[in-house]
Amino acid sequence: MLRLVTVQAGFEQQFEQFLSMRDVGGADVSAVVADIILQVKKRGDGALLEYTAKFDKFTATAENIKVRHEDIAQALALCSPELIKSLKIAAGRIRAYSEKQMPADLDYVDEGGTRLGHRWTALDSAGLYVPGGLASYPSSVLMNAIPAKVAGVKRLVMVVPAPEGKVNNAVLAAAHIAGVDDIYKIGGAQAVAALAYGTQMIAPVDKIVGPGNAYVAEAKRQVFGKVGIDMIAGPSEILVIADSACNPEWIAADLLSQAEHDAMAQSILLTTDSAFADKVISQVERILKEIPRRDIAGKSWADFGAVIIASDWEEACEISNKIAPEHLELAVEKPEELLPLLRHAGAIFVGRYTPEAIGDYIAGPSHVLPTSRTSRFSSGLSVFDFLKRTSIIGCSQKSLAGLSQYAQTLAESEGLEAHRLSVAVRS
């Protein structure tokens, strides 16, 4: 765990090194992924079924690769009533938030008489990748699928790895509650290729969303352009800005809530009080001994965790902006005073009683958020990922006459005579 103090000599250099500490690339899987995509494009179902048998130890066929209604009904019956109720409450909150996000169309006539505006229309289809098979997360199904359905996507297809042919019951229950149309027991780069290019069994989609391993991420990168993608997601991360009035145990639990996701995850405490930081570190060490995923969380904390001591809250906010975290907690006395100073974050959790985990499950906004400092230029998943904005322009004879001279001049300056002529012949 790294400890940095802004007033100490060498802080800027250490901080810059810290920002790039997770940039070390893993094995290059681009060639392997490119070949998988090529084979699925060329051989369709044959390649898809072969890769599924090879990687998931599941003898997939045209008959068993698609999840049946009976399978979903059985999964629902095997989930506890408490889990089903929780999924439904979460789904309702995500749906309500997404509905409030839906944008309005624009349509007006300017002072010259030209009609201008735009309209929003949904994608025809989208593919949702759910990672992990038996270890996957039903909350992610809700967070990806419900914004798509609220946006108006007509066909939502889910793909999920099924080791030995088995899919997590809670994942199937979540898919049913969210309104997913079709579910296929496939994963990896081959699933991404099938969604992008289609096979005999699976019709192609317009956009692919959802996280996955390095092979899935690379496959999404390679099919972008043929289809849309949401983002290339990296390991989870959290930055907690906390003052000394906080309960150190609360903050330690928040830090570990992301560290337990992945050994590559990153948890950062940013405070102005060194003694408080020591108390939080002590609580982290205590809690680590008690949680089941202590090995994963402990490695994440040891390799990528950090505590940064700032001189004041304004400096703390500027440091946060440079980190541009996926999740940002404001566990301070007056969080509203800091909000205007914070420009870059996937999601901000305001106040001591708003742990990041509430956003993972039940708050309403999607927990699919930009990682690896990409919140500097991108946003979390929402209904906007499943909508397209189309401009609308309408000229009358009079309004065209008022614009014609200027359009012709610009066309002439670019040497495009047919452009000029198409305006001139109407004037």
Query: How far is residue 126's CA from residue 204's CA, in Å, rounded to a whole number?
Result: 9
CB distance 184 to 154 below 8 Å: no
Strands 207-209 and 125-129: parallel
E strand map for 180-315? 182-184, 207-209, 228-229, 237-242, 266-271, 306-309
Query: How far is residue 155's CA from residue 177's CA, in Å, rounded to a whole number?
Result: 15
Contacts with 319 (C-beta within 8 Å, 6 or more apart), sequence order: 6, 15, 270, 308, 310
Query: How far is residue 250's CA from residue 252's CA, in Å, rounded to a whole number?
Result: 5
Q: Is the dihedral of CA 341, 344, 345, 347 positive or negative?
A: positive
CB distance 320 to 328 below 8 Å: yes
- Exposed/middle/buried for 270, CB within 10 Å: 0-12, 13-18, 19+? buried
What does the buried/exposed string (b/e) look like for 209-240 if buried means 16 or more CB atoms within 10 Å of the residue's CB?
bbbbebbbbbbbebbeeebbbbbbbbbbbbbb
Q: What are phi and psi of 202, to 5 degrees?
A: -115, 120
Helix (H, G, I), strand (E, B) or coil at 158: strand
Contacts with 211 (C-beta within 8 Å, 6 or more apart), sequence order: 129, 131, 140, 217, 233, 368
Cα-based distances in Å from 308 to 238, 305, 351: 13, 10, 20
- Asked about 326 being catalytic, the answer comes back as yes
326, 329, 356, 367: the catalytic one is 326
If you search the block for the tokens 């070949």, which residue do you land on? 35
Query: How far is residue 131's CA from residue 138's CA, in Å, rounded to a whole number?
Result: 10
- Asked about 16 being catalytic, the answer comes back as no
* Token pair belonging to 170: 């809670």
- Bridge-partner residues for 240, per DSSP? 269, 329
Query: How far is residue 297's CA from residue 238's CA, in Å, rounded to a whole number?
Result: 13
Query: How far is residue 130's CA from residue 137's CA, in Å, rounded to a whole number?
Result: 8
176, 260, 261, 327: the catalytic one is 327
Contacts with 309 (C-beta within 8 Å, 6 or more apart), sequence order: 3, 4, 5, 6, 271, 272, 273, 274, 277
Q: Which residues are catalytic?
A: 326-327
